[in-house]
Structure 1
Amino acid sequence: MSRTLCYVIIGYLSGSILYARVFEKLFHKENMIEGSKDRNPGTANAFMRGGFWCGVLTLCCDMGKGFIPVFFYHQGEMSQLGLALILAAPAIGHIFPLFHKGRGGKGIATTFGSLLGLFPVMTPVLVLAVCFIFFSLILRITPHFYRTIGSYGVSFIMLCLMQEAFSVKLGFLLITIAVGIRFVLSKEEKDKIRVSLLWKR
């Protein structure tokens, strides 16, 4: 129990470090986040407004803070509930960061990192990747926040239909709920949802 609690705390606190803001300062990219349309402290804005290296470092660190606690917890004795909580903790930390008064990002890169931490189990991360690709290229949903919610929601349904471990399903559900809550609480301007097919653009 103490081991599980320790990993949950580490996962949440590491998730609360918003690396887009860290590298915004290190690369002197003032207004990189606040000047963007969605003000999201994530990988996309780091690439688009901070440049290649700012984006790469943000991506690696955001994925790493999800991967490391899950991977190392996964190597030792664990409980299903414990793994679920540790799977979700970094993403929830990114979405509702302690160090930034709860104003975080969408947690996409961190979620991918957490799911990669389940290695050699790769099905969950592949399911999420396929859903994002599908809703980005085939059945395109815009703006991006709706695409994110759709990708998480459909991924969760697909994982429930598969023979995945209870811990993975519960952990992913917790992340999906956190993303939904962030959307409801977000003060960013929400454009009307648009759906378009690849061959009808």
Structure 2
Amino acid sequence: MPIGAATIKVMIEKGFDIQDLLEVAESMELSAPKERSSGAKRQAAYRSRKKQAAVTHDVTRDVTESVTPRVRVEDNLLDRESKKKVRKKTSREDEADFEDELSELGPELLEEFVKLRRGRRAPLTAYAARLFRKDCDSCGLSITEGAEMCISRGWFTVQPRFLSRQQPRPAAASGDPAPETFASMWKNEAKNEGNENG
């Protein structure tokens, strides 16, 4: 609290000299609380709001937690079963299952087929092997023929629609005329124009 002019006048009337006045002013400055920065004021306000919110925030939970609910034995059993974690298969185990499903291919062909599917990022699981077997059946191919076709053509499976596009086109018979090209059409036109004029 600063000393005002009226206070100083009263002290001089009481017999205070300048030295006494300086001592009083210094002691008041030391005992006065320091002015807080704006950041400190803001932090104090935040902490007081948080303290009030903690008291009134979860009144209903405080009341309900104090009452212990009745628990059935069946509920405990269900919780234990649901908490058991199912271990997921590793990729090596999946690949081993894939190879077991297609073991009739032989080691060399199977290794190449697995390498191809791994490179194409196709799944290497037992289910994928069963689907490959199903695709081979739908194409009328044996598993070995299907795997060889996939390796030679870079496919990860065979499907009838792939094979229908890969059928060779029938060659023209020797007695059939060759299809007409643009150059041959020009020649024929030139001949026809020459016959008409001459």
TM norm. shorter chain > 0.5: no
Larger Rg: 2
Q: TM-score, normalised by structure 2?
A: 0.18
Q: TM-score, normalised by structure 1?
A: 0.18
